[in-house]
Structure 1
Amino acid sequence: MAQTLKIKRGNNANLPSLTLEAGEPAFVLDTGKLYVGNGTNKVLINPDIPSNSQTTDKLKTARTIALRGDVIGSVLFDGSSDVTITTTEKASGVTPGTYCKVTVDTKGNVIAEEKLISSDIPSLTLAKISDAGTAASKNVGTSSGNVPILDSNGKLETNILPALAITDTFPVDNETEMLALTAQKGDVAVRKDLNKSFILKLEPPTVLTNWQELLTPTDTVLSVAGKIGIVTLTSSDVGLGNVTNESKATMFTNPTFTGIPVAPTPSAETNTTQIATAAFVNSVVANKTSVSGNAGTATKLETDRTIAIAGDVVGSASFDGSSDISITATISNMDGGTF
């Protein structure tokens, strides 16, 4: 036969007067609370959960969230919004700067710095150095292919210099002085008596044949207008002191001739604007054909001539060309009558 288990039940208003034995349950209908007796009191099995314990949007007390170790930082957080922690890497204690040699820990942090020393630099062959220059591959010495070194005075040793000839020049008045010179091979003697120079090709200088004449250019022009060196001539230097520079465009405009200017004589038949010379004029006069006697230069006719007016007006006068004349004109008489 089925058994039915029943527990005490009632409303919350009756809860204070309720007595439960140890282990005996009781259910409050209007609050949904379950109580169990412990022998002396009633124990609430399902108490109310505070409203902000699981689903609250903000903590009652804000908390600090901090980072420590190699990276540090912190932020105050109460749950009301997202937060970001600004981090700072822990200082290594090394002074800031640029270093050629550093020590790092297992996390890659610089924990020490040092300067390079000679043992830190590996030995390099010249082939691995790109800018050493060509002299770096040569040995020091005086043999072929070697690079000579300077002495304490900053000069090359004389034993590695080739023999040098220093030429001197000696002005002398004549051959005797030239042969008496204390000269060396390559020295030059300038002979004032010959205006020539000689070079000593062999020693001693006392032998004339040891002197070789230095040839000069074959051009015989030694001066221009009495000037030598770099010559700049003026019109006066060449006897043209009265000559001035004139432009071709203006030098023949309205010229004034003096003295007896000469021009080409045109041919007899010329009829242009060419200048007529005295010879041309005389030739034309001598060959004239349209005049005779002294007609070309006469001031009076050899025979007087009568100049007459005929017709309705009549008159006349005698004319020999020696002066102007007037003709007295007379109108011819007309028949009378009434008109």
Structure 2
Amino acid sequence: MIDQNSQFFAILTEVGEAKQANATALGQSWTFAQMGVGDANGTDPIPNRTQTRLINEWRRAAVNQVRTDPANPNIIITEQVIPADVGGKWIREIGLYDAAGDLVAVANCAPSFKPLLVQGTGKTQIIRMNFIVASTASVVLKIDPAIVLATREYVDTQIVEAMAKMDFKHSVLVATTASIALSGVQTIDGVLLPADARVLVKNQGDAKENGLYVVSSTGVWKRTQDADSSAEVTPGLFVSVEKGTANGDSVWQLVTDAPIVLGTTALAFEMAVGRTGVSAGSYANVTVDKYGRVIAGTNPTTLAGHGITDGLRVGAVSQQYPILAAPAPGGVDNTGTGGALQIREAQEVGAAQTTLDYAPRILFHWQGLKARDLAMSNLGDLLWGSNLVYHGGNFSPASKANLASPAFTGTPTAPTATAGTNTTQLANTAFVWSAVNAYATTVTASLNLKADLATSLRIGSVSRQRPILSGPIPAGADNGGDGAGGAAEIREVQEVGNTQSDMKYAPSLLFNWSSKFARYLKMSPVGDLVWGDKKVFTEGNITDVLATVAMQPNGRVLIPTKDGTPLYLQWYEGPLAGAETVAYPAVSHPVPFPTECLFAGVFTRSTSSNTLSDQMFQMEYWDRLGVKVFPQWFGTGNQSLVKPLIFAIGN
């Protein structure tokens, strides 16, 4: 007899227990299909795990709802709706059948009479069975909506769950900026939270605690209804933040990849839209995050502020020591030791600093040895070493006689030296006449030792000789034996006439170094200056340089520029894109750029001419070593058919 001591419960049958164990062990699915009700022949039944059928079943139909209990995931809730036109019997026992038709769960209930409409009353009755399983992982919570009736609660629940599974969640009041205790009312990001406010928690020390929460004024916070299950927290989830000093008016995205098990998987959120803390304005230097947003900006006024540590300052006296040197040593085929120029200034030249120690100067080096300073004195004189350099302002050749072969006018006179004088004193005709008569034999012998006039250079006519100009000592400093010296030879095979246009007739200077042939410096018949067999570019033909490019090894092109800094252009393929779940690797340039990559772009090339591909590439970022591109999928064709074609330019 039913009274206040009666117990009502639901259990799995032996068949149900075995099927659940088998499904869990083998990873197979288990589906509930039908629910039966009976009157137990008027008895008060007690569920028995050995049952294979109800005592007296009078109705069996498809279940209307199968779901897990939100408060306890190990409890499965099943429902059946009995319409108003079915009944006329008592309900004392309930059975649940799986897709194979086996009774897998049985329950008893307080007796309830289901009337028929013909009895003058009617009702639509909901029968619900709750039972505990060890794990719901293998249970398929699925019904056929075409053959069941839906309660209002079921419809409301389905709408809420469908909305909760969307990637765009209801906005939150604030977002955390540090790890917090998930309980009680508190102030976050400058906002005092009211009870029931929604909060984005994203900075917990244990990242599995991150997510969307509702503030509780008396106890522990709970996750929001639209993000309190694994099915509702999906990769790419977006949520807007309404208020806050740091995070107000921002949008955050869940960047954790699937699969996500809520409460187990570490969740990471990143700002997709929002303030970066940089005020509006123009900045010389900016820092950009991976989304292309400016997160920092400065306007430095120094070279160091721009990251330049070896540049010359402009508009100020420099106390640096810039050294200018050729990229390769001088000589034939890059042999030998080269030279360098160094700009020196001990310190700023002031009115009281008048000694040469403070003079601005250019220091010349040769073969690793100091040669000499070219300096300006405090009087404005140009000095080579410590010697004054003569120029048009301090020397007039018209008022001076040349030391070599001076030309006098009129009748110049000079004192007559004493006979036998052997000094640098000038000799007049009287001294010469006396000396010639006294030492005729000696003078004659001396004249015989002079060079034949035939070997002298002719003046006033085209010369076909080959004069060689060379210093009497080797090149270098202090007459050191640090090289065999150099020479310049004036070459002209024969007189250049109108019909002699071959380069072998070109007037030229032949440079020799260390007893090795170096190269000719020639003028071509069209007026070009030629070094060896290469045209020398000048201000008049520099546009020829800028209009040419040169192919380089490793599939790149060198583009000369006017300031001498070359640009490199290179293009290449990346590897084949994988399936949508395969991460695409970074791609290295075939040849890293020496300084930086100025621009990179990507195109998509299909490896199949007759198969539609649903992928394309976009550029994520580039640097001097390579690029990072990512493929996109559209779901309209095949995958793993395309490669990226990358175009990059830099210096």
TM-score, with length taken from structure 2: 0.16
The structure with the greater share of residues assigned to strand is 2
- Give TM-score scaled by structure 1 length: 0.26
Does 1 or 2 have the higher relative contact order (CA < 8 Å, sep 6+)? 2
